[in-house]
Structure 1
Amino acid sequence: MADSKPLRTLDGDPVAVEALLQDVFGIVVDEAILKGTSASEKVCEWKEPEELKQLLDLELQSQGESREQILERCRTVIHYSVKTGHPRFFNQLFSGLDPHALAGRIITESLNTSQYTYEIAPVFVLMEEEVLKKLRALVGWNSGDGVFCPGGSISNMYAMNLARFQRYPDCKQRGLRALPPLALFTSKECHYSITKGAAFLGLGTDSVRV
């Protein structure tokens, strides 16, 4: 592998771009989707961390790699990763592989837009508004706003912040110094992010009452 030619830039070369992506997509379909969702294959080719580091060769190098090396790295990453679409993969939050959702994800990643303004993401902003409208209707709200969160921890922290703002709206401008001591009541079964959120929001972990 050491004598392979460095990968030249693909900028301005649509033929090279298409060829690379066709090869990568082929590997994804064959290895991650077809084999990764087959009950006859393993959920994961498990290796201990030190052994896996040697197999992956994760050293950051100053020189680029050849196209063949990149494609082989794609295969290696898929091979040693957990196949969450596998029928025997079980998780309390996610599992399975929906081809329609995957197709949508490919489009969003290819366009690489951001949701912060209509100017940069006109289609996705309107889609987001429609989904939020439907979610509000499910809980009986005719109007309102919303935000999609990347996980449960940040969702709980947003909720805690909103609860504080609802009771003490001045905190947005004047901060915690303008508020009386606050307490946060929860159960012993609560998510660990409640305590983390209390620290993050400046309430302090001592303010959490179980």
Structure 2
Amino acid sequence: MNDFCPIPEVDKHGEFLQKVVELLFKNIVFTTRQDKVVLWQSPEQLEEQFDFGLKQNGDGQEKLLSLLRSTIKFSVKTGHPYFINQLFSGLDPYGLAGQWLTDTLNASVYTYEVAPVFTLMEKHVMREVCSMVGPDWGDGLFCPGGSFGNGTAMNLARYHKFPDTKAKGTYHLPKLVLFASEECHYSIHKFAAFLGIGEQNVISVKTDKVGQIIPESLEDKIQEKLNDGSVPFMVVATLGTTVRGAFDPIDDIADICKKYDLWLHIDAAWGGGLIFSQKHRSRLNGIERANSIIINPHKLLAVPQQCSMLLVRDKEILHKCYSRGAEYLFQKDKHYDRSYDMGDKYLQCGRKCDVFKFWFMWRAKVCRT
């Protein structure tokens, strides 16, 4: 089959898509405790049993259905009642419905004219979540994962201290250092390397017996680096460390950041979901004092992968740091208010909609516990 046209036709594709949906319902969506979480195969075994080859000619629909069955057969059923791994699990039915609609519309969320509903929806969701952090918070981004969000925040922190890096680069900068828990997520070191800060300039701060940053150790490290001529610019705290789930003492850390004029970023990719809990919200006390926060609704809130939010207190910094004003997208003569074109504050251009499944689940569940 050589079906090059990307336009669905009822006569040609209707029955096929119905079979796909039935296959997904039966084998993934409505799994039970009697089903296996995974039919484990070694990489060598899977290479032998699965048809990974690519051909010059397309396969027919029956063969394609067979490939779908094989993919399901050998994949991990993350919605299975017994699955829990890497801080996420479950398959929320409302999130799934939102994901399906998002994928079917296939919108790219950079201007209002191509994604009007999703553009306004992002504004509403971002505004609401920011208000839950604190009254001074007012902007943010949806990110392709918490790691990307951490890296974006690191760049914002450097821009905040040295705004001319956007135009001039980093050749003229002093030796910059940032501070993070010895149990911080590895993305901090990865993005330090990516941004030209250097892994060695991520200064590890000692933690206590439950994995929380020791504030006295943080201040000692800052003083040590000031004495050797380095320029501290940022502290990364964590609310819900990856291995032990530790919550750093945010108020103590914020006091130190204020004393030394340092950007405070909070990696709350996991623990940030508690902002929706009346019972456990107090675990996040002090987050309003940060400069930026990462929250991953696809973790504690079980929104389908992926859904990650970077929130910032400074309402202007995203545009100042990242805007470029490409006129082929962000024309000055549009027939609506151009401030609705959010794409210019993003590092990405083409961007999948991550907000709808989150918004749809929020509308379905409403109550906070």
TM-score (structure 1 length as normaliser): 0.91
Closer, same or farther in 2 for the Cα pair 1:8/1:113, shift >3 Å? closer
Matched, 1:83 2:77: yes
Cα shift at 1:7: 6.1
- Say which is worse superposed, 91-100 or 11-20, in terms of deviation: 11-20
Contact 2:2 2:57 in 1 (8 A): no
Cα shift at 1:9: 5.7
Matched, 1:197 2:191: yes
Corresponding residue for 2:286? none
Q: Which runs of 5+ in 2 are unaligned?
A: 205-369
Contact 2:150 2:188 in 1 (8 A): yes
* Whole-angstrom distance in 2 between the partners of 1:196 and 1:8: 42
- Name the structure where strand makes up a greater proportion of residues: 2
Match of 2:24, SS? helix
Alignment of 1:124-203 (within 5 A): 124-142=118-136, 144-203=138-197
The amino acid of 2:75's aligned partner reads S
Corresponding residue for 1:45? 39
Corresponding residue for 1:21? 17
* Whole-angstrom distance in 1 between the partners of 2:203 and 2:8: 60
- Say which is worse superposed, 13-22 or 129-138, in terms of deviation: 13-22
Cα shift at 1:142: 4.9
Q: Which runs of 5+ in 1 are unaligned?
A: 1-5
**Of 74, 90, 114, which aligns to 1:96?**
90
- Say which is worse superposed, 12-21 or 131-140, in terms of deviation: 12-21
Contact 1:161 1:201 in 2 (8 A): yes
Contact 2:39 2:73 in 1 (8 A): yes
* Whole-angstrom distance in 2 between the partners of 1:17 and 1:7: 14
Cα shift at 1:79: 1.2
The amino acid of 2:81's aligned partner reads P
- Extract structure 1 runs of 4+ deviating beyond 6 A: none
The amino acid of 1:32's aligned partner reads I
* Whole-angstrom distance in 1 between the partners of 2:29 and 2:166: 47
* Whole-angstrom distance in 2 between the partners of 1:67 and 1:103: 25
**Of 1, 5, 30, which aligns to 2:26?**
30
Contact 1:170 1:178 in 2 (8 A): no
Q: Deviations over 1:99-158 (max 9, x none)?
A: 111111111101111111111111111111111011101111355221112222112111
Taking every aligned residue pair, what percent have the same amino acid on both sides?
47
Cα shift at 1:170: 1.4
The amino acid of 2:141's aligned partner reads V
Contact 1:196 1:205 in 2 (8 A): yes
* Whole-angstrom distance in 1 between the partners of 2:136 and 2:153: 20
Corresponding residue for 1:3? none
Cα shift at 1:204: 1.4
Cα shift at 1:14: 2.3
RMSD of equivalent CA atoms: 1.6
Match of 1:177, SS? coil
Matched, 1:123 2:91: no
Match of 2:142, SS? coil
Contact 2:180 2:202 in 1 (8 A): yes
TM-score (structure 2 length as normaliser): 0.53
The amino acid of 2:47's aligned partner reads K
Cα shift at 1:199: 0.6
Cα shift at 1:46: 0.5
Cα shift at 1:20: 1.4
Contact 1:7 1:67 in 2 (8 A): no
